[in-house]
Structure 1
Amino acid sequence: MSSLLILDASSTLCSVALNLNGETLWLTEDQPRRHAQRLLPMVDELMSDAGISRSELDGVAFGCGPGSFTGIRIAVAVAQGVSLALDLPVCGISSLATIAQAALSEDTRSRALTLMDAHMGEVFWGTYELQNGICVPVGDEQVGNPEACLEAIADWDGVIAGDGLQLMPFAGCDLTYSGIRPEARTMSRLAAEAWKDGKFGDADAHPPVYLRNSVAWKKLDEQPSLLKR
């Protein structure tokens, strides 16, 4: 039995969720540039609606990326602040795995390839499969130009999901799941599994995942892929 707080700001969505002994309550807003202003007030609102206090929380999970560089840092900062203030263990949850979990919850297949728009003409992507109802990675998460994913997609027999689909340089791709973005309510399922498996711990053990740390700081004239867009 556990009470977990889940936060995500890795996309344009700003979302929070509570997993209370397996039952999920959530709030989601489309806030492309207001994550910093809205994340904590949304936490307070959700906890008030749920009728629980901060002292009743057992752990805090957050969307660790990949995704929006700024959004991930905001979620990390809030999660670490809550962790330090309340002496709670934390756990980072993959944004790409969250998309896979959402897509496979709507489909009969058991494998998903997920892509997120990484901007600068690139995509974040990874492959996952269901094991006992939970998405687990098959290989490493990656970042690169859309063409780099074509070979993997050509041979893929599972679901393809995420907004990165709209950047793929070919026609006829199934866009059914292209609107799925990471969201705390879906992360709730993954967080509950991580709690059960003892994966929550010190904040230092759960860093943000950018996949391209240095690229995020390049000057405009050093970003040829961006200039071509």
Structure 2
Amino acid sequence: MKILIVEDDADLREITTRSLEKERYVVSQAPDYRTALCKIEDYDYDCILLDIMLPDGSGLDLLEELKAMGKRTNVIILSAKDSLEDKVQGLDLGADDYLPKPFHLAELHARIKSLLRRNQREGEQSLRFGNIEVFPDRFRVMVEGKEVDLNRKEYDILYYFMCRPGRLVNKNTLAESVWGDHIDQVDNFDFIYTQIKNLRKRLKEAGATPELKSVYGFGYKFVVE
């Protein structure tokens, strides 16, 4: 699951990033309006933590941009501006929640999980495809009721495809979603091929019916045949 933090306070940005990474989220940062706009244009996020008061613009304008792009992204406004007008305007523009500063990280984590559950197969506690069941809150994977041991990236890849069964996924999109924005700096995708190969092996050994199929020249598709 990938989160974008749009926040101009460097200390708060870093503290929040470290806290979320401990919860196994892929986290990207934007210190200002321009950087945030570039990121939401180029990438998709499961959740955006959005400050209203940015040095070069307003977080409310970013909400309008998201709406204009047609991107359905969970947004939690994090702002010291706790006026009723800002709160109502943010929610009207598509924000899902509003958390005033200062806030407790434990509450932020709970609100993020609540939002993601709400959009995850109508609020179910697990994802199912074929005979695979994934429990996101506990990072557990079961095949026919038996737990499958995966490393973090194998799990992240599987979770990504469990949310998109049957969809054709470009390898660049997969890499950026699982490894983050800095994927632009790598020379090749050998590390993805390795993780995909290992995940396929583990699922096959566990007797999973869904398969990660390669689509030549494009990417992958998670299907049951």
TM over 0.5: no
Q: TM-score scaled by structure 2?
A: 0.28
Higher helix share: 2
Higher normalized contact order (CA 8 Å, seq sep 6+, divided by chain length): 1
Larger radius of gyration: 2
Q: TM-score scaled by structure 1?
A: 0.28
